[in-house]
A and B are shown apart, each in its own frame.
Chain A
């Protein structure tokens, strides 16, 4: 972490701050919203976008430090992007089956 160049440090910092703010927004929405169906979507949005931002920043930093492109963080991004809608859909079906829809 001693010789991180400027073209990598600035976008990585912006992506890290953006990912932190998005994830914190999702967690605050998880605590503050009144209904389960409203509580469903802020953590999904926050974690998907936050994970994407943090992993792009990690790719930038490790590529800039090694001097060659390192893309094996794309594996986690792909996995999270594929599995977040499956989790949301199954939890929503479980909620509808258990409690009925009270809107």
Chain B
């Protein structure tokens, strides 16, 4: 039974790494700046999922905190970049 779970975990990790590579393709090829910001958003969420898969496969709780930090800082960076594209500055007086 654990063989099925190991296969599923490896398959999910492979899917997330492939998704990261595809987001990287869009990040380098995107015609406009908002395409690159969207690709960066997809990229960090897939990296967070890869880290969670590492945490599941090694049954350690340390990866969970790193995943939470990546989610927090990634959200802040995406909001800052979108605000910069929208207004021209991030923190307005």
Q: Can you list, as one digit per residue, whether each of A67-89 has a CB less than 8 Å from chain B (1) or not (0)?
A: 00000110110011001001100
- Given A6-B1, A31-B26, A54-B53 in contact, is the A26-B42 Cβ separation under 8 Å? yes
Contacts of A90 on B, CB cut-off 8 Å?
A: 78-79, 82-83, 86
Contacts of B72 in A (CB 8 A): 79
Q: What's the Cα separation between A51 and B48 when bound, in Å? A: 9
B interface residues with partner A (beta carbon < 8 Å): 1-2, 4-9, 11-16, 18-20, 22-23, 25-26, 32-35, 37-39, 41-42, 45-46, 48-49, 52-53, 55-57, 59, 61, 64, 67-68, 71-72, 75, 78-79, 82-83, 85-86
**6 pairs, A vs B, C-beta closer than 8 Å:** A20-B16, A26-B19, A30-B26, A93-B82, A98-B34, A98-B85
